[in-house]
Amino acid sequence: MFSKFYQTILNIKPRTWLAIVTAVALLERVLLYIFYRPVLYNDTAGYRRTVDAILGGWAHLDGTRTPGYPVFIALIGTDERVFLAQLALGVLITLLLFFIGWRFTRQGWFAPLAAFACTLNL
């Protein structure tokens, strides 16, 4: 029985796997958007302070945060838009890992494995 299941998995075409991976990644992000809303954590104020310093011309940057993520927040805007951007980037990273897995191995089972390892690790 396991052998038949394994053979079925190996015989699925890469395009079909890509469609499955994309559907799962999108469904997961939609569910996250509906049920897991952004929340404030203890370090949120530090990030916001750095964002304000960046938007104010970097003059009052206090060095409590490296500016990478605060620059991302400053470019995107509100918490809601940052959350949506992160969800979209999660889908893109999943698809990128699928592409890399397929290009390096040409194994029909490895590309979805790499993509699912990313997208299912919330």
Contacts with 17 (C-beta within 8 Å, 6 or more apart), sequence order: 98, 108, 111, 112
The domain total for the chain is 1
Which among 63, 119, 57 has a CA at the least distance from the CA of 91?
A: 119
Residue 21 counted as domain residue? yes
Residue 86 counted as domain residue? yes
Length of the chain: 122
Residue 58 counted as domain residue? yes
What's residue 33's pLDDT? 93
Residue 59 counted as domain residue? yes
Q: In whole angstroms, how large is the CA radius of gyration of the chain?
A: 19
Tell me how many degrees the CA angle 6-28-113 measures, rounded to the nearest 5.
30
- Residue numbers of the domain that contains 73: 15-119
Residue 1 counted as domain residue? no
Mean residue pLDDT across the chain: 87
- pLDDT of 63 > 80? The answer is no
pTM for the model: 0.82
Per-residue pLDDT of 13-41, as tens digits, reads 889 999 999 999 999 999 999 999 888 88
Which among 23, 7, 4, 3 has a CA at the least distance from the CA of 15?
A: 23
What is the per-residue DSSP string for 43-99? THHHHHHHHHHHHTTSTT--SSS-SHHHHHHHHH-SHHHHHHHHHHHHHHHHHHHHH
